[in-house]
Amino acid sequence: MHSLLIIGTVIILTSCNLTETKKTQLKTKDSVTSQIDTTPSQSSNGNSSYSDTYDSLARAYVDTSTLQGKRSWLMNQFLLENGLVSPDYDTLIDLTYDDQKDYIIGYYGKSGTGIKNRAKVYVFNPKRHSYILDEKLSNLPNPTFYTKQKKITGFYIGNGGGGGSKLEWINNKWTLTKEFDVDNDGDTTKWKISYPIKKKIEVIVRPFQMIPPEEILETDIKW
């Protein structure tokens, strides 16, 4: 029964109608030609129900001749790589302003003392008719996509400190325009902010917090 429930979840996720969002909670491998080895390792004491579900998903045929099929394939790979744990969401957003929808899988990370929202961002390549993993955007922790303002922010702050950055769409590519670092020093914490393009650095004293103050980095992430 547990296996059937998981398979049902996979089917629902991979066949859902995806809609564009303005803001959401980002070189590469081709979603068709670059297959991931999903053969599970042998274990004498593994859960047979889990193994059967894993094996079935790993061997499942997906028609990747359509964009829906390509997204289903990517979702299957995500589930296999994350122990069949379902993502928080998946959606379509135009992140390269070419009138082509790119594919995002949002999920929650497993380790760390800070907030751990993550996203896998696959940019659509019309020449190859495939979704390509964008490593820069996918490596942004706690991302917020401000598509109208053509900017993306991300940060990670744990108990001891952390940092964050802002990317802006400049000359048809996502460019780093702001980043910050912070170490926990209580009420006298110094937030060091740098602007790579302007080659400017400033320091702001603000109490330490796990989500950056708005004047340091805009974000929609909340506890």
Give me the pLDDT at residue 11, please: 41
Backbone angles phi, psi at 76, to 5 degrees: -60, -45
Strands of 89-93's sheet in order across: 89-93, 102-108, 117-125, 130-133
DSSP E strand stretches across the chain: 89-93, 102-108, 117-125, 130-133, 144-146, 151-157, 161-170, 173-183, 190-195, 200-205
In contact, 9 and 56? CB cutoff 8 Å: no
Query: pTM, whole model, 2 decimals?
Result: 0.78
Q: What angle do CA 15, 21, 26 make, to 5 degrees?
A: 85
Q: Are 80 and 57 in contact (CB under 8 A)?
A: yes
Q: What is the mean pLDDT of each run of 10 residues along the chain (223 residues)?
A: 43 41 38 34 55 85 94 96 92 97 96 95 96 97 98 97 98 98 94 97 96 97 90
Question: Backbone dihedral region of 142: left (phi > 0), alpha (psi from -120 to 50 degrees) or beta?
Answer: left
Give strand pairing partners of 123.
132
The rounded distance, in Å, linking the Cα atoms of 210 and 188 is: 15
CA distance 2 to 15: 20
Sketch the domain layout of the chain as residue ranges: 1-139, 140-223
